[in-house]
Structure 1
Amino acid sequence: MTGTGLDVDGVTLTAGAHHLVRDVSLTAGPGEVIGLVGPNGSGKSSLLRAVYRVLRPDSGSVRVDGADAWSLSVRRVARTLAAVVQDPGTGFDLSAREVVAMGRAPHKRLLDADTAEDAGLVEWALAAVDASDLAHRPVDRLSGGERQRVLIARALAQQPGLLVLDEPTNHLDIRHQLEILGLLRRLPATVLVALHDLNLAAYHCDRLYVLHEGEVTASGPPEAVLTAELLAEVYGVAAEVAVHPGTGAPQVTFLPGEPAAAARGRA
């Protein structure tokens, strides 16, 4: 697993007359963790779908390791990129270990048997997300958080150079949120992740892209992007942003009331 570069250049996606995203560009260098943040309906999931080749852009391009993603074979994409999507449904009459082993499929021919290397990677991926004890349990009988960890493990077993994750902390308890994001931070892979929790994004991401109404409103290091003014503009909330004394990362505290009213109250 080595980091793969990603370049999104001027991507526009539409649904009928409605723009899902408009002229969005972003980059992710090998090994970077790039966060997508923004309110519901801002275009985060749509943009991710363009990266992992579910939605073809109306204009613009997505390049993975310098190659047009839509020109690559399905097999090559699967060897390079793994995606963890929101609410994929169960639909699996399989054990957790069997689901994670599906991540090895892109590296095998149709009738190839599992190798010792495959088995080792599956065990490593389960352990990495604290799911070893779930290995023999049917996935459709797991809780939402347990199932989410198994799906992340499947992506890890794929050994991709680029990991694309849409709200991977959904359904996870606080401990597993921190552990999963810490794991993503330590991987050599490039990571593009959509997150709702701005404090988690501030701590774990190298750079953030803020989407609002389908466009990039701001981008850069978390400390440059997460400001009270931006949160008021994009989210419509009042907030204070300070540097956390323990982590050195921005810490967002949301305040009651409208942004302008909260500002007047502090004046």
Structure 2
Amino acid sequence: MSFIECVDLTHIYNAGMENEMLAVENVNIKIEEGEFVAILGTNGSGKSTLAKHFNGLLLPSSGKCLVDGMDTKDEEHTYDIRRQIGMVFQNPDNQIIAAIVEDDVGFGPENIGLDPHEIRRNVTAALRAVDMEEYRHFSPHHLSGGQKQRVAIAGALAMNTKCLVLDEPTAMLDPRGRHEVMETVSRLNKERGITTVYITHFMEEAAMADRIFVMDQKHLVASGTPREIFRDIGAMKKRGLAVPMAAEMAYRLQQKGIRITESIINTEDLVRAICQ
């Protein structure tokens, strides 16, 4: 059984009203426990709507979404699902509610009624996991964007989260902040086995995933490893999507008649192929 599974999932906003809008249609997807998957797509493709089903923020108009075997439509499981699936959004300032970092990280555990001693243990462990323990007594508003996102991730971890769903978490960050967040997310996935669902417009970030899902016009249109997805540069461009810079350069060299290895997704691949 997959950790997250969508079966013919369709979502319609404002169903039955004049302004109803089909956002996702007949999506079938499986995500295994411990996987790192990226979801790509242009604006309006349905990727964020899909991700919000994973912890029950949205419920399917038809079809179903299962998390660890639990149906998100079953209200009896809402609490358990949201404890397992932590959400991190684009703007870190919209997620911070407390004046002190440790209070912000402890807000979620406190609201689900954890024992104060357990809350303190969870907060310390979560801050340590994202390398922010030394900032526990700081005001979040004095932190950089990357640090704020790491605090948001810690807030999810303090709930004993098994899965992180990150919706363009680096879109508003500078390169240093993006690196901080990506390094943290990758490490949590590899070292702690946290299932990771990562929505991004940055193809170099997507290239770090185990698998990529591509959304286009409300449908899931492709899935595969980063090398499989970025190999078909023509298809990506038709969907309005970029590819990692190294893959783009390799593609242009091939167009010039230069023989070069296919399936290049990072700088190391490109350097190695050129040297050969």
Range class of TM-score, shorter chain: 0.7 to 0.9
Residue 92 (1) aligns with residue 94 (2): no
Residue 243 (1) aligns with residue 248 (2): no
Separation in 2, partners of 1:139, 1:192: 25
Q: What is the total number of aligned residue pairs between the two structures? A: 242
Separation in 2, partners of 1:93, 1:245: 39
Scaled by the length of structure 1, the TM-score of the pair is 0.80
Question: Which sits farther off after the overlay, 141-150 or 59-68?
Answer: 141-150
Map of 1:13-92 to 2, 5 A cutoff? Answer: 13-15=11-13, 16-71=19-74, 72-87=76-91, 89=94, 92=97
Separation in 1, partners of 2:200, 2:266: 23
Per the alignment, residue 3 of structure 2 pairs with: 5
Deviations 1:137-195 (A, max 9, x none): 22344443322111011111212222211112332624303412322431322221212
Distance 1:90 1:232, change over 3 A: closer
Per the alignment, residue 256 of structure 2 pairs with: none
Per the alignment, residue 126 of structure 1 pairs with: 127
Separation in 2, partners of 1:62, 1:90: 25
Q: Give the 4+ runs in structure 1 shifted more than 4 A.
A: 244-249
Tell which has more relative contact order, 1 or 2 (C-alpha 8 A, sep 6+): 1
Identity of aligned residues (%): 28
- TM superposition shift of 1:4: 7.3
* Contact residue 164 and residue 196 of structure 2 kept, 8 A: yes
- TM superposition shift of 1:91: 6.0
Per the alignment, residue 231 of structure 1 pairs with: 236
| Letter of the 1:197 counterpart | F
Per the alignment, residue 148 of structure 2 pairs with: 147
SS in structure 1 opposite 2:205?
helix
* Contact residue 167 and residue 199 of structure 2 kept, 8 A: yes
Map of 1:178-197 to 2, 5 A cutoff? Answer: 178-186=182-190, 187-197=192-202
Question: Which sits farther off after the overlay, 212-221 or 119-128?
Answer: 119-128
Separation in 1, partners of 2:81, 2:3: 13
Scaled by the length of structure 2, the TM-score of the pair is 0.77
SS in structure 1 opposite 2:66?
strand
Separation in 2, partners of 1:11, 1:218: 16
Distance 1:103 1:132, change over 3 A: same
| Letter of the 2:5 counterpart | D
RMSD: 2.7
Can you give the 5+ residue segments of structure 2 that lack an aligned partner in the other structure? 14-18, 252-261, 271-276
Question: Which sits farther off after the overlay, 159-168 or 148-157?
Answer: 159-168
Per the alignment, residue 200 of structure 1 pairs with: 205
